[in-house]
Amino acid sequence: MEDNRLFVAYKPSCMVSNHFLSRIKRRYNVKKAGFSGTLDPFAQGVLIIAFGQFTKLFRFLKKAPKTYRATLWLGATSPTLDIEKVEHVEQMMAFHPDSVAFVLQSMVGEKTYLPPKYSAKKIDGQRAYDLARADKAFELKAITSTIYDCHLVHYIHPFLTFEMTISEGGYVRSMGALIAEKLGFPGALSALERLNEGDFVYDNEKELNPLDYLDLPLNAYLSDPSDILLGRKLVRENFEKNEEGIYQIIIADMLSVVEISANGVEYLLNSLSLKA
């Protein structure tokens, strides 16, 4: 029987997320596994892992906001915005800690910026980092992220460690470059750790109940439960809540996700067993 499992692993630095997943699969002796939220090779920290049919749940999990602890190397110039390709290091006098704290606080709010060229963004089907490594010219579209908190942890010049809570899809490497720019110099991250993704934190790979992490309101089906269990066509009038939206439905240890819209009711996920 296929092993269904949801848990949080801790990826070490200097390892690609896919290679780390391969290790996990071998350790647990499973064939089907996936992760949510790729971590850069130099980064470490929280990585949400699912086995078996639970890999279908990623899109429905509450994975934001995310909190990171990062160390910014002030004066370092790197096209990757991290220590992978540091090309030059500029010297400067140390900043007053109050000035640093003020700049970090100024990061809170919405920020529109360009993602790193060395990122997993796709350009015409190709990853941006592959194009960048091949030295090909391309442009990335600006994105907007919300920074909920940004504060100083410690500052030992030229290394500035801060914690940032940011919306899903945000790039802390780019945020580090923006912080350095506000201080008047280049900068690149020398360390990056993801502390959490929403309520997901590392706890020795403890098995988690997916229902505790679904980012969906619960709805009730008022007609014959076998309609859903057998994947029959549904009508919105048979739901306790029939307003437009995406809902989770639990019937006999089976999870379904449906979308109610002006066009009717559509299955987004049908009869997934919640048993491990």
Question: In this predicted structure, what is the pLDDT of residue 37?
Answer: 87
| Active site residues per annotation | 40
Residue matched to tokens 């987004």 = 268
Please name which of 162, 153, 244 lies closest in space to residue 173, comparing C-alpha atoms: 162
The token pair that represents 7 in the structure block: 């848990």
CB-based contacts of 11: which residues, under 8 Å, 6+ apart?
A: 17, 20, 39, 43, 44, 45, 46, 47
Predicted confidence at residue 263, as pLDDT, reads 94
List pLDDT tens digits, range 211-254: 999 999 999 999 999 999 999 999 999 999 999 999 999 998 99
What pLDDT score was predicted for residue 2? 66
Which pLDDT value is given to residue 240? 97
Tell me the residue length of the chain: 276
Rounded distance between C-alpha atoms, residue 144 and residue 45, angstroms: 24
Contacts of 195 (CB under 8 A, 6+ apart): 45, 46, 67, 68, 69, 163, 201
Q: Does domain 66-193 have CATH number 3.30.2350.10?
A: yes
Q: What pLDDT does residue 124 have?
A: 86
For residue 100, what pLDDT is reported?
A: 98
Residue 160 is predicted with a pLDDT of 98
Instruction: Provide the pairing of β-strand 88-89 with 76-77.
Output: antiparallel
- Residue 266 CA to residue 261 CA, distance in Å, equals 8
Low-confidence ranges of the chain (pLDDT < 70): 1-2, 276
Is residue 79 within 8 A of residue 215, CB to CB? The reply is no
Is the sign of the CA dihedral 138, 144, 149, 152 positive or negative?
positive
Q: What is the per-residue pLDDT for 121?
A: 86
pLDDT of residue 221: 97
Query: Could you tell me the residue ranges of all domains in the chain?
Result: 5-64+206-212, 66-193, 226-273
Whether a cis peptide bond, with omega within 30° of 0, leads into 158 is yes
